[in-house]
Structure 1
Amino acid sequence: MAQREAAGSGAAGRSGRWRAFHDKFVVEERFVEPADRRGLYRASVILAIAGLALFIATLISVLQADGLSAADGPVRDWLLTERSATLTAVMIFLAVVFGPIALPIIVLVVIVVWGFAAKHAWRPILLASAMLSGVIISQIILQIVKRSRPPVDQMLFGIDHTFSFPSGHVLGACDFLLVGTFLIFSRRRNTRAAVLGFAGAGVGIILAAVSRLYLGYHWLTDALASVSLSLIILAGVIALDTWRTVRVPGEEVTGELSKAETRQD
């Protein structure tokens, strides 16, 4: 009897663990008004068009050495005149936070903690996918454009001989802040909080970009290209999330990996 009870308990435990693992990949589908869903798709299209237009304009200006890239030299020269010991220390700190070591660790911790804490892992998976997409896209463009960085004698935090267009630091910061903000506030109906969230993300992006320019590792157009690519990635996330999770009254929620939203994670 005791052996049968122990066996039953073990089977139940395995079944419970499997159910918990399975439920992580169930997507909660939320109901909104038709106009709200159209607004999400509209925002996605606008962001994609704006990002693509800005990237093309930036790329053409870099390849032809005119247009937007005409501001690269003056901006660099102005930042050179603003350098000081205190400001340099602040910019180095920002460069480390948004750098290739600290930022991936921060992102990984956020995704893992969010993934375990949330009942469903859809949003952490989306964030991870957006970050990985940014890395792949930036590496491809870097090898195609092969743009040289500013002179090495202007670099304040070690010498970097890799290509500069687009800025991986800025793209990573943009993807993490913009996509993360959307995924958090898209499930809340507090418009003011969402505005403040995106405003904070904007400040973080500006700080990340300025630190790279100030320290002498990138041109202004490198940062603009990164922002434009991040807008395209954000547009893709909004469209995918809307397609997968947003329903209007009257639509059914069906499928083994779908359920109606019951509460916020």
Structure 2
Amino acid sequence: MTPNPTLVPTRRRVPPLAVVAGLLIVFIVGLTANVVARDGLTSIDPDIADWAVAHRNGVLTPIAITVSNIGGTVAMTTLATLAVIAFGWFGYWRAAGLVIVTGLLSWLFVDGGKNLIARPRPPVDLHVVVKTNFAYPSGHSLGSMAIVGIVSVLLIPRLRRRAARWIAAIAAATFVAAVGLSRIYLGVHWTTDVLGGWAIGALLVIATFSGYRYLEAREHDAVRAGAKHRSAVRDPGGAAVPVPAHPAERHVGEVDSEGQIAGGG
């Protein structure tokens, strides 16, 4: 007997981003607990700090300082501001708002986390640059991951060539990694500060971008529903009135028949 397909339970597929977000939350909670208790993964911090200090030299140190400055608050705020202006100029207001929200959340998590956890930085004698506030999470690591990450997921799909998309993605990931490593090298952060910053920044990108795509999907569905309603209107001859495609029905990264890549509002 063939089972009634309407009675067969359907298995919903968990979105990959939801899985990644869940893993990041577990990691962040566990790492933060280690930092507060000063055990677990934090045991790697002194050895890595000593190794970084032992391998400083006249070539790497100025490079690390430069990378650290580029990944700092001023530079990331400038990048976010330019992205907002550019998206707004071309009419992508939702994308501009996404960058603003991500930037504000990253600031709240950095400032709130540092003051809530109140973790001391490495000893001052290890510092190449002077820092006096708290350590966890690394603001440079979190901020660069969040801002570079959200700008990348908005811009990279718009690149026409696959090679260009790969190059841009690798460049963005390399930069974020270099910023975090520079903070360890300069002696102003423990390794777990940087890991926490990266993880929280990545979670913010996933959360805010998922919300952005949800709003896009809602608009897409509303436009489709309106199109179906209009298509029900018939001309005097009985033929369906053609309904032009609405530009909002295309999403970021979607390619039309002319090879144009859609943008997001």
TM-score (norm 2): 0.75
User: Residue in 1 aligned with 2:8?
Assistant: none
Q: Offset of 1:107 from its aligned partner?
A: 2.2
- Alpha-carbon distance, 1:199 to partner: 2.4
Contact 1:72/1:220 (8 A) holds in 2: yes
Q: SS state of the match for residue 178, structure 1?
A: helix
**From 186, 196, 220, the counterpart of 2:191:** 220
Match of 1:242 in 2: 213
Give me the whole-angstrom Cα distance separating, in 2, the residues matched to 1:86 and 1:185.
Answer: 32
- 1:132 corresponds to 2:104: yes
Residue-by-residue CA offset, 1:135-180 (whole Å, 9 max, x unaligned): 01121111110000001111112x2220000011111100112111
Further displaced range: 146-155 or 195-204: 195-204
Residue 87 of structure 2 corresponds to: 114
1:81 maps to 2:54: yes
Amino acid paired to 2:112: I
- Residue of structure 2 aligned with 1:156, choices 124, 128, 132: 128
Is residue 48–residue 235 contact of structure 1 (8 Å, CA) maintained in 2?
Answer: yes
Aligned to 1:54: 27
Q: Is the 8 A contact 1:149 1:163 kept in 2?
A: yes
Q: Name the CA distance, whole Å, in 2 between partners of 1:162 and 1:86.
A: 28
Change (3 A) 1:46 1:133: same
- Determine the C-alpha separation between the residues in 1 that align with 2:144 and 2:94: 21
Which residue pairs with 1:70 in the alignment?
A: 43
Deviation string 1:78-113 (CA, Å, 9 cap, x unpaired) is 100110122110011111111122221232123213
Mapping for residues 1-265 of structure 1, pairs under 5 Å = 42-116=15-89, 118-157=90-129, 159-186=130-157, 193-246=164-217, 251-253=221-223, 259-261=248-250, 264-265=262-263
Rounded Cα–Cα distance in structure 2 between residues aligned with 1:218 and 1:76: 9
Q: Secondary structure at the match of 1:101?
A: helix
Q: Which moved more, 1:234-243 or 1:170-179?
A: 234-243
Greater Cα radius of gyration, structure 1 or 2: 2
Q: CA separation in 1, counterparts of 2:201 and 2:62? A: 27
Structure 1 unaligned spans of 5+: 1-37
Contact 2:219 2:248 in 1 (8 A): no
- Unpaired segments of 5 or more residues in structure 2? 1-11, 227-246, 251-255
Contact 1:43 1:235 in 2 (8 A): no
- Please report the TM-score for the alignment, with normalisation by the length of structure 1: 0.75
Shift of 1:124: 1.9
**Contact 1:146–1:164 (CA under 8 A) maintained in structure 2:** yes
Identity %: 22
Alpha-carbon distance, 1:231 to partner: 2.0
CA contact (8 A) 1:61 1:69 kept: yes
Counterpart of 2:31, as a letter, is T
Contact 2:122 2:188 in 1 (8 A): yes
User: In the aligned structure 2, how far is the partner of 1:190 from the partner of 1:128?
Assistant: 28
